[in-house]
Homo-oligomer: A and B are copies of this chain.
């Protein structure tokens, strides 16, 4: 792409560094901003910079937070003995939306991925193990996505916990509510048969 303006080229380049945004999309976004009032660009740039400058991570669960201890960890009504281990804040938001979980979270900040050069020490695994060693936690629920990396991470943490007095579980895998059996993949269907639940439990939402 040949640009008639260095300023434009630079802005397009920086936007195209975002994941999933190519040069053409970046150009479209930047040209859109050029047509909008100046305040919109100022607000966008300001919001990003102040997020990066002022964001905190909860000292307990490592979730993104505006304060040192996040709302969930600071809430005395929540059960700190059950901790759900998740990858990032999106998973926390998704589980919170279900209103089914009243324990605490532990945000790992990613998954172990040798391909991307992410090892256990890039994640908050150590802090999780320390919390378990302190002895307050009774159960850990692993809620990582069931990919190669997710399973590796689950297994790594599981091995680290050996000998510690904590119950571990993973969220159930199965056919999504509303899905047709015939379109389900074999692994999921197989697991949903192996991990079948008593019929009377299936009414609980």
Contact = CB atoms under 8 A, between A and B. Distances in A.
A135 interface: no
B34 A93 contact: no
10 contacts: A1-B93, A2-B96, A4-B66, A4-B92, A4-B93, A14-B44, A15-B44, A17-B40, A34-B52, A41-B52
A38 interface: yes
Contacts of A66: 4-7
A63 B7 contact: no
A60 interface: no
Interface residues of A, number: 58
B45 A46 contact: yes
Interface string A125-157: 000000000000000000000000000000000
Contact of A7 (B2, B33, B50, B96): B50
A89 interface: yes
Interface in A65-95: 65-66, 70-72, 88-90, 92-93
